[in-house]
Amino acid sequence: MDPSGIFFTSHAGDRSLIRTRPQWACLIALLFVLATAPWWASDRWVSIGYTTFITAVAVIGLQICTGYAGQINLGQSAFMGVGAYGAALAMSAGWDALAALLIGGMGAALFGVMFGLTAARIKGFYLALTTIAAQALFHFLVLNLPQAWLGGAGGLHVESATTFGISLNNDRAIYWFSFIVLVVMTAGAFGIVRSRHGRSFEAVRDDDVAAGMMGIPVAATKARAFLVSAFYAGVAGGLWVVALRHVSVEQFTLFNAIWMIAMMIVGGLGSIVGALIGTVLIQLAREGVTSLGPSVIQWVPAVGQDFVFAAMNVLLGTVIILFLLFEPKGVMHRINISKKAYRLWPFPY
């Protein structure tokens, strides 16, 4: 629903994502603030920024698989780990960081599509168990393959990361690199969900039997959703290696995948912007708990060092329960309602 007086005379205009000049101005201002943040923000906020960007790439991929295609995926952290190891091996061999991201993404996509094929026969709770098996298989392979291949429990270390001859060994460079990748991947996600593939995802999500009767290849569509989701996770894993220059199996656990599910629920299922909003809100909440933890321990020494981790668990569970009870469609749904009310005011009918 557009504001009064806003209309289009072409299909391209009617399908445009950014429809008014104020929307363009807000988007450009947001991109400008984010792009210039390393020049005026503290080092801690720069670090929080690129960590949020990396997580957002993985959550967008999960949104495509679960929010748009309706395929429950609890293996996103494992797919991210596969991409991280693939990118680390590529960068250790001297590949450019950007090429390493693509290699990691393709490796994760191949790993993910194997589990996507199982979605052709099973759904719901059983599909969730299958994707958990991806997490277990990832840990098993990394820890039991020869140590010379993936480093075993100690993981792999990357000496340096460069792209087009530019070193990525400082926080500012990592921030800008992650920001650019996030912008590209977000634009790609909008392109996917607005294409025939996105319409197929939504049709399968709403009713896979009816979608099959309309001629949509249901099995291939479900596998494609897992492939795209795993590719995004693999690219995020590659960015993680660029940021830390080290990868180990402990960095990619089932608990991380549940955090991504929480981000998607908070932002709203079936919305790319919702995935971004949910990621930012949950990341800020986590940083708030992390910052307050040491102070609480000083004030009340009896709580012990495990307070922060326990508070994280309580925060995660509380957020998921509250949103499922009171706002199951996420923050983006509430934003859309507010926008419609503003555009209709003072004529609520």
What does the pLDDT look like over 270-297, one tens digit per residue? 889 999 999 999 888 888 777 776 666 6
With tokens 């500012």, the residue in question is 172
Mutual angle of helices 76-92 and 125-144, in 10-degree steps: 30
Q: What is the pLDDT of residues 6-20, one digit of tens each?
A: 777 776 767 777 777
Residue 33 lies in a domain: no
pLDDT of 346 over the 60 cut: yes
Residue 202 lies in a domain: yes
Q: Find, among 106, 104, 38, 57, the residue nearest to 283 by Cα.
A: 57
> Can you give the pLDDT at residue 202?
92
Q: Find, among 281, 216, 258, 274, the residue nearest to 68 by Cα.
A: 274
Poorest-confidence range of 53-67, 129-143, 241-255, 334-348?
334-348
Q: In total, how many domains does the chain have?
A: 1
Give the Cα separation of 267 and 270 in Å (integer): 9
Q: Mean pLDDT, to the nearest integer, of 192-203?
A: 91
What are the residues whose beta carbons fall under 8 Å from the beta carbon of 196, sequence distance 6 or more? none
Residue 22 lies in a domain: no
Residue 109 lies in a domain: yes
Give the Cα separation of 87 and 93 in Å (integer): 10
Query: In which domain, by residue range, is 71 found?
Result: 41-344
Q: Mean pLDDT, to the nearest integer, of 86-107?
A: 90
Backbone torsions φ then ψ of 93, nearest 5 degrees: -85, 0
Residue 35 lies in a domain: no
Q: What is the pLDDT of residues 105-155, one digit of tens each?
A: 999 999 988 888 877 777 777 788 888 888 888 888 888 888 878 877 788
176: tokens are: 């800008």
115: tokens are: 């589990």
Q: What is the pLDDT of residues 216-252, one digit of tens each?
A: 888 889 889 999 999 999 999 999 999 888 898 888 8
Q: Do strands 246-247 and 156-157 pair parallel, antiparallel, or not at all (unpaired)? A: antiparallel
Coil vs helix vs strand at 223: helix
Percent of the chain with pLDDT over 90: 32
Residue 10 lies in a domain: no
Q: What is the pLDDT of residues 297-306, one digit of tens each?
A: 667 665 555 6
HEC letters along 36-71: HHHHHCCHHHHHHHHHHHHHHHHHHHHHHHHHHCCC
Q: What is the pTM of this model?
A: 0.91
135: tokens are: 């997490």
Give the Cα separation of 263 and 63 in Å (integer): 10
Residue 154 lies in a domain: yes
Residue 19 lies in a domain: no
Coil vs helix vs strand at 147: helix
Residue 240, domain CATH: 1.10.3470
